[in-house]
Amino acid sequence: MTTTDANSQHALHSVGAKFDSTFTWDYERSRTPLVKLYEKAKASQWNASTDLDWSIDVDPEKVASELGVGTSDRFGVLRDYPNSPIKHFGDKEWLRLGVELQSSLLSQFLHGEQGALLCTARIVETVPWIDAKYYAATQVMDEARHVEVFARYLDEKMTRQFRINDNLKSLLDDILADSRWDITYLGMQIMVEGLALAAFGMMHMITTEPLLKKLLRYVMSDEARHVAFGVLSLQELYKGLSASELRERQEFAFEVAQRLQRRFMQTEVWERMGVDPNEVVRILDDANPPAMQQFQTLLFSKIVPNCKKLGLIDAGDGWLRERFTDIGVIQFEDWVDTGEEYTMLDEVAKDRETATA
């Protein structure tokens, strides 16, 4: 069983919010793309207890070594930097760092999934369309399952859970505290879930650990539908917003993107290793290693095309295009958006077709 470094944290955390719970007496199924997505979601449910083989033995050090190529590339600059706080690290410390980084990354996925669970329950209450309420209800089930699988994997297969990253925690708090239902959609469905989908894809591509690989594959098939849900729902709303309202959404999207980038500095790991995280962040900001740039850039591969699909990149005077250009991620604008991608990632359906063939 894992240990958790949340000993000093309270087990419960409340976020104050004031919002309207919205009934709709219009039960007409008029939004065809959402109807199709709802039908797909119902057919693609999976059971974490029976569809994954939890008897598989997992070696955390082997998992870390596989995924540690990225760790070494991203943080290797710290070895040779003048007055580096980890200059004394040897092979043993670097291996431990790799294990802790992977446990931390999976822990942040876990905490983010609980954030998605709360946000989607909020969407069921606040969205005004019956088709969106139906679909959001299926996503609540998906998110509960995701919390379950990441918690179980960390508890049974890895060494510890980590507390929620401060950047992620403050972001989830802000999303939940906002009373506007479309901000919940934009913050969670497009930004947080979009970045998570990219991160899951990178980890899935690298790891050969069979349980983690299948777990990620199943979660990705759900997440692609979730992002598509956000795109399909917000497209309709954003067509009717004023220029000033769209600018608010552009600024919010960019702020979220910047905060999500900082999340992957993984300051909670450096604390656990007895290293000043502020010093690590200072060095990485100064050195700006290419591998870190590439890693952070790829995290936007799902966010940018979805923002374009929503009309946010070029709305008004193109403010968001300029911001995405400044941070070097605008090249993703014409990548496939998740509104078209989710059927390709429906691994549950593929597995069932294989099983019955």
pLDDT at 70 over 60: no
Q: How many CB atoms lie within 10 A of CB 8?
A: 6
Predicted confidence band at 238 (pLDDT cuts at 50, 70, 90)?
very high
Q: For residues 218-237, give the mean pLDDT.
A: 91
Percent of the chain with pLDDT over 70: 89
Instruction: Say how far apart CA 151 and CA 154 lie, in whole Å.
Output: 5
CATH architecture of 57-351: Up-down Bundle (1.20)
The model's pLDDT over 83-103, given as tens digits with 9 standing for 90+, comes to: 889 888 888 888 888 899 889
pLDDT at 316 over 80: yes
pLDDT value for 69:
54
pLDDT value for 42:
94
Indicate yes or no: pTM above 0.85: yes
Contact 289, 269 (CB under 8 A): no
Q: Which one, of 336, 140, 353, lies nearest residue 228 by Cα?
A: 336
pLDDT at 357 over 70: no
pLDDT at 354 over 70: no
CA distance to 52, 212, 312, per residue, from 66 (Å): 21, 12, 38
pLDDT value for 87:
86
What does R_g of the chain's alpha carbons equal in angstroms? 20
Least confident window among 76-85, 152-161, 342-351: 342-351
Instruction: Say how far apart CA 55 and CA 73 lie, in whole Å.
Output: 33
pLDDT value for 167:
87
The 8-class DSSP code of residue 311 comes to: T
The model's pLDDT over 160-186, given as tens digits with 9 standing for 90+, comes to: 899 998 889 999 999 999 999 999 999
pLDDT value for 8:
46
pLDDT at 23 over 90: yes
